[in-house]
A and B are shown apart, each in its own frame.
Chain A
Amino acid sequence: MNFVMPDLYPASAEIFLLLMALVVLLVDLFAGRRWLTYLLTQLTLAGALGITFFTIDGRTVTTFSGMFIDDMFADLLKLALYPAVAMVLVYSRGYLAARNLDKGEFYVLTLFATLGMMVMISAGHFLSLYLGLEMLALSLYALVAIDRDSARATEAAMKYFVLGAMASGLLLYGMSMVYGATGSLEIAEVGQRIALGGGNRTVLVFGLVFVVAGLAFKLGVVPFHMWVPDVYHGAPTAVTLLIGSAPKLAALAIVMRMLVTGLAELAEHWQVMLMILSALSIALGNLAAIAQTNLKRMLAYSAISHMGFMLLGVLSGIVGGDPRFALNAYSSAMFYVIAYVLMSLGAFGMILLLSRAGFEAEDIEDFRGLNRRSPWFAAIMMILMFSMAGMPFFVGFFAKFAVLQAAIAAKLLWLAVFAVLFSLVGAFYYLRVVKVMYFDAPTDMSPIEGPRDMRILLSLNGLAVALVGLLPQGVLEYSIYATYTFLVGH
């Protein structure tokens, strides 16, 4: 086999990010000025954004022998990814500095995690998918434990690592089964071979079970959710913010690549599995969130239920072998994820804003009387909470609307009814946050301070949730466009 130099151009954003991550590492080591590290990191993300944006050409290109796909779907997801990570950095900075966690490693690991997510999004091959996943996961394990003196964080990191490693094992095992049945690791080729009747169905379905279990773990859906509350709760809030936001975009991408590109022929099987995962997540996530007094844990359970809702979109794409509603359903799932990332960034950002040196504002009670301390940020938090509850004129409503109509289009009326009944349960705990902010008297009157850039960005974040809710067409079209190119691509 001759060695052919692969075409590097489609992966130029990834290559840029990798190089810059190494530069940041060195600059931080030798210059030792944190603001410079921070600035370079942000510039890296901006640069990657620019590269991705200006290399969009509407074509689907594969490189590295089919390992890496550069299509519109990937480009548009990445364009959502960079701002999300940049926002994480803006929100985290003050928090990290106050806790003496503002270390160069944080920035380097965040960049590597971003690179991992980009590779996941562009993965055309089981191996590159797995590599991206592990790159993200290993960076996150280390980030969770970055506050080494915190026993809680260390415990969370251990739990995350052990369970995460097991999930990776499951995923790999499932992939190996699929490989055994089809003789290929390239996702598109796997799809073609199965479509042509290749591979032993029993082996394929057996492998599929493990693949779905592995993906479910990464998404954090019931019954593979056990790590989510503990990690969200135990990790420093800045890291929780990272875990709870951008990786959901990458997770959607690998679910789409694995299940839709690779295993679409087995849709009847994985749809049933996803239905169970989705229903359980919506039910358990919403019920368990009620009992939480810690806001981070509450948002963790809320994340579980939101991922369940997102799966509603993914599982509604193919109705009895008929892919007519695929575009509608998958674009709804994508819209849901983008909306969720926006809301999740804002909600964890609010926790970071209220936290001070030596004080973590992570209990719901810490938001008591926020309306008296800062009417503006109370309003922002209220927008975020009502949006997460799926109230209209906020983006969360149209996200739920989109996946519900996808489910009803797929004749899954019962699942839609089930989902809305549990979102009623969900409304209760979001309302409780609004209640403590607006109906209760504050226990401490210390003013809300935080870096100016963070306060501005957080305000814009909240307003965006309202504005995209009022005029969702743009983002809906964006998701349609991305999904369309994804579906046409194979």
Chain B
Amino acid sequence: MSGLPLLSLAIWLPVIGGLLVLATGADRNAGLARPLALAVAVAGFLVTLPLYAGFDTQTSAMQFVEMRDWIPRFNIHYHLGVDGISVLFILLNSFITPLVVLAGWKVIEDKVAQYMAAFLVMSGIMNGIFAALDAVLFYVFFEVSLIPMYIIIGAWGGPNRVYAAFKFFLYTLLGSLLMLIALIYLFFQSGFSFSLLDWHELKITLTAQTWLFLAFLVAFAVKVPMWPVHTWLPDAHVEAPTGGSVVLAAIMLKLGAYGFLRFSLPIAPDASRELAWLMIALSLIAVVYIGFVALVQTDMKKLIAYSSISHMGFVTLGFFIFNPLGVEGALVQMISHGFVSGAMFLCVGVLYDRMHSRQIADYGGVVNTMPKFAAFFMLFAMANAGLPATSGFVGEFMVILGAVKYNFWIGFAAATTLILGAAYTLWMVKRVVFGAVASPHVAELSDIDAREFAILGALALSVMAMGLYPFPFTEVMHASVDNLLRHVAVPKL
């Protein structure tokens, strides 16, 4: 197996498969487009499995490396590789893609082939972001991933989709353009290299580091999103079709956080330490303030969107307290949030497909008509609130421990999320699922079918497995996180 360019396969198989799906053309061939898309998505997932199976957990070096000239004119290489930080995201992304294809199986009846193709292409592109070790290759994937998402939100989204699609695109483009300048600056500083690994060793003055850090911060903070540049996310989530919301929450938000680990921390470690107070402050605002904002939402998708921002605040907090518990906890939180937020959006999607409403007030007593669904929804809500034995607990607990070690009051503020998260999530579940049947529409609801059961079941298993036995996840990231923290601790002025 090791002879195959696995990372290239993980990137290009979904992209080329997506183009094939696109070639099935008009909606009268939708019967062909759907299974073909599913086959491509499953194949895309299968090719990433050897990445985990063959992964050497003892080393922090890049593995499955592929290196080719791409644009010698600018010394740009087609350089791929994964370490313990990135490999899990490729798996997560490839795991989510078949679920998203399945989730759109029935609901999407319009331009089916284009819908499926957009998700497949995006899946490949996002694998490229996680695998790229050349800055331009990273940037190119990072920016091009906006195009399919823009189309998905705009073409299959809700009533206010055009506004949301533009806001999403322009907001994120603003960040990445400034990053481009930073990348080109580093290219000249490093003696004409775009290799991330070279840049990690590069000595840079504190002033330059600070500017670089800020340029990266704009790019990644928008993507995470961190308070106060988070306002695009609720709009994008609310208007996007279910599949779009899932990918956005489960994978796209992780790109920003991943960027911090790959760029900001190792390239500008001194500036990272200098500005850690800022990052911690912004993270805590996200955790606490956005938690309160989530509490008052009346729209389910909006509530989950704000909950995502709050959870991602936890992730950035974990990064900038510079201890292994914090960083690993944040990474676990990212994976867990990928499962949980994806599942939450799928649950809302299930309800929306039946009722065409996302308003909490329109529901009530769903458990009476959809018992199986209610059980899943309850489980995911508990995971979102960070209940022990679910994946949500592991990451949060580790980050809180790390934060308490760093500073008691920061840990204390972070721990409020356990209360806030439980409050907004469970209150929503109470109002939607429990109580008396609220309206005749709810009384007519039918429970989830086999397809929906399979999607939610797969995610439920992942959430439980990760909550009960997180070792296979932390084991993989351990060596790389240690190496990163050692690297960050050494001044490189």
A residues near B (Cβ < 8 Å) are: 371, 375, 386, 391-393, 397-398, 401-402, 404-405, 408-409, 413, 416-417, 420-421, 423-424, 427-428, 431, 434-435, 438-439, 471-473, 476-477, 480
Are A473 and B71 in contact, with the CB atoms below 8 A?
yes
A375 to B166, CA, bound (A): 21
Is the CB of B73 closer than 8 A to any CB of chain A? Answer: yes
Q: Are B174 and A392 in contact (CB under 8 A)?
A: no
Task: Tell me whether A408 and B177 are in contact (CB under 8 A).
Answer: no
Q: Is the CB–CB distance between A405 and B73 below 8 Å?
A: no
Tell me whether B471 is interfacial, beta carbon within 8 Å.
no
Q: Which of B70, B114, B144, B185 is A408 in contact with, Cβ under 8 Å?
A: B185
10 nearest A-B pairs in the assembled complex, by CB-CB distance = A392-B140, A476-B73, A420-B177, A439-B154, A405-B184, A408-B184, A392-B144, A473-B71, A392-B143, A438-B155
Q: Given A413-B181, A420-B181 in contact, is the A405-B166 Cβ separation under 8 Å?
A: no
For B348, the chain A residues whose CB sits under 8 A away are: none
Residues on A with C-beta less than 8 A from B170 are 424, 427-428, 431
B residues touching A (Cβ–Cβ < 8 Å)? 25, 70-74, 111, 114, 136, 139-140, 143-144, 146-147, 150-151, 154-155, 161-162, 165-166, 169-170, 173-174, 177-178, 180-181, 184-185, 187-188
Known: A392-B144, A439-B154. A404 touches B169 (CB 8 A): no
A405-B74, A405-B188 known; 15 new pairs, CB 8 Å cut-off, are A386-B147, A391-B143, A391-B144, A392-B140, A393-B144, A404-B181, A405-B187, A408-B184, A409-B188, A420-B180, A421-B177, A435-B154, A435-B162, A435-B166, A476-B74
A417 and B185 alpha carbons, distance in the complex (Å): 11
* Contact present for B155 and A416 (CB under 8 Å): no
CB nearest to B177 among chain A residues:
A420
Q: Across the interface, do A473 and B73 meet the contact criterion of CB distance under 8 Å? A: yes
Ordered by A's residue number, 26 sampled pairs between the chains whose C-beta atoms are within 8 Å are A375-B114, A386-B147, A391-B146, A392-B140, A397-B140, A398-B71, A404-B181, A408-B184, A413-B185, A417-B178, A417-B181, A420-B177, A424-B173, A424-B177, A427-B173, A428-B166, A428-B170, A431-B169, A431-B170, A434-B151, A435-B162, A435-B165, A435-B166, A439-B165, A472-B73, A480-B73
Chain A residue numbers with a CB within 8 Å of B155 are 371, 438-439
Question: Considering only CB atoms, which chain A residue lies closest to B25 in the complex?
Answer: A375
Which residues from chain B contact A401 at a C-beta distance below 8 Å? Answer: 74, 136, 180, 184
Which residues of chain B are within 8 angstroms of A409 by Cβ–Cβ distance? Answer: 188
Asked, given contacts A427-B169, A439-B155, A477-B73, whether A391 binds B147 with beta carbons under 8 Å apart, the answer is yes
B residues near A421, Cβ cutoff 8 Å: 177
CB-CB nearest in chain B for A393: B144
- A431 & B144 in contact (Cβ 8 Å cutoff): no
Q: How far is the CB of B291 from chain A (nearest CB, A)?
A: 31
B188 and A438 contact, CB distance less than 8 A: no
Chain A's closest residue to B166 (CB) is A431
B184:A439 contact, CB within 8 angstroms: no
* B184 x A404 contact (CB < 8 A): yes
How far, in Å, is B85 (CB) from chain A's closest CB?
Answer: 24
What is the CA–CA distance of A480 and B184 in the complex, to the nearest angstrom?
Answer: 19
A386 to B140, CA, bound (A): 13
Report Cα–Cα, A20/B174, bound state, in Å.
51
Closest chain A CB from B417 CB (angstroms): 34
Question: In the complex, A386 Cα to B173 Cα: how many Å?
Answer: 12
Q: How far is the CA of A405 from the CA of B155 in the complex (A)?
A: 35
Residues B161 and A404 in contact, CB atoms below 8 Å apart: no
Which of A404, A409, A431 has most B Cβ within 10 Å?
A431
Cβ B143 vs Cβ A439 within 8 A = no
- B70 proximity list for chain A (CB < 8 A): 471, 473
CB atoms of A408 and B71 under 8 A apart: no
Contacts of A435 in B (CB 8 A): 154, 162, 165-166
Partner of A438, one of B140, B154, B177, B187: B154
Cα of A393 to Cα of B140 in the assembled complex, Å: 7
**A104 to B154 Cα, complex, angstroms:** 46
With both beta carbons as reference points, the residue of chain A lying nearest to B215 in the complex is identified as A417
| Distance, CA A476 to CA B76, complexed state (A) | 13
A469 CB to closest chain B CB (Å) equals: 9
Contacts of A413 in B (CB 8 A): 181, 185
Whole-angstrom distance between the alpha carbons of A391 and B150 in the complex? 13
A392 to B155, CA, bound (A): 21
Contacts of A477 in B (CB 8 A): 73
Chain A residue contacts of B188, Cβ below 8 A = 405, 408-409
Query: What chain A residues lie within 8 Å of B178 (beta carbons)?
Result: 417, 420
A401 to B72 alpha-carbon distance, docked (Å): 14
Q: How far is the CB of A420 from chain B (nearest CB, A)?
A: 4
Residues of A near B111 (CB, < 8 A) are: 371
What residues of chain A lie closer than 8 Å to B184, measured between beta carbons? 401, 404-405, 408, 416
A438 to B153, CA, bound (A): 11
Q: A247 CA to B178 CA in the complex, in Å?
A: 32
* B139: A residues at CB distance < 8 A: 392
Nearest-neighbor residue (CB-CB) of A439 within chain B: B154
CB distance from B47 to the nearest CB of A (A): 22
CB contacts (< 8 Å) of B166 on chain A: these are 428, 431, 435
A439 touches B162 (CB 8 A): yes
Q: Which of A398, A408, A434, A473 lies in contact with B181, CB distance below 8 A?
A: A408
- A428 (CB) vs chain B CBs: closest residue: B170
CA distance A434 to B70 in the complex (A): 29
Q: How many angstroms between the C-alpha atoms of A431 and B185 in the bound complex? A: 28
Q: How far is the CA of A477 from the CA of B72 in the complex (A)?
A: 9
In the complex, A391→B146 CA distance in Å? 9
Complex-state Cα separation, A480 to B72, whole angstroms: 12
**Within 8 Å CB of A473, what residues of B?**
70-73
CA distance A401 to B25 in the complex (A): 34
In the assembled complex, the CB of A382 is this many whole angstroms from the nearest CB of chain B, namely 8
Give the residues in chain A near B146, CB-CB below 8 Å.
391
Write out the residue numbers on chain A whose beta carbons fall within 8 Å of the beta carbon of B161.
439
Contacts of A391 in B (CB 8 A): 143-144, 146-147
CA gap between A369 and B208 in the complex, in Å: 48
Chain A residues, Cβ within 8 Å of B181: 404, 408, 413, 416-417, 420
Query: Cα distance A402–B184 when bound, in Å?
Result: 10
The answer for the CA separation of A247 and B185 in the assembled complex, in Å, is 33
Kindly state the separation between the CA atoms of A439 and B166 in the bound complex, as whole angstroms: 12
Quick one: closest A residue to B72, CB to CB? A473
Q: Specify the chain A residue showing the minimal Cβ separation from B110.
A: A372
Contacts of B74 in A (CB 8 A): 401-402, 405, 476
Residue of A nearest to B26 (CB): A375
Q: Would you call B180 and A404 a contact (CB within 8 A)?
A: yes
Separation in Å of the B212 CB from the closest CB of chain A?
A: 12
Question: What CA separation (Å) do A141 and B134 show in the bound complex?
Answer: 49
**Which A residues are CB-close (under 8 A) to B162?**
435, 439
Give chain B nearest CB distance to A468 CB in angstroms: 11
In the complex, chain B residues whose CB is within 8 Å of the CB of A416:
181, 184
Taken together as a complex, chains A and B put the C-alpha atoms of A375 and B181 apart, in Å, by 35
A413 CA / B178 CA spacing, docked (Å): 11
Closest residue of chain A to B74 (Cβ to Cβ) is A405
- Chain A residue numbers with a CB within 8 Å of B169 are 427, 431
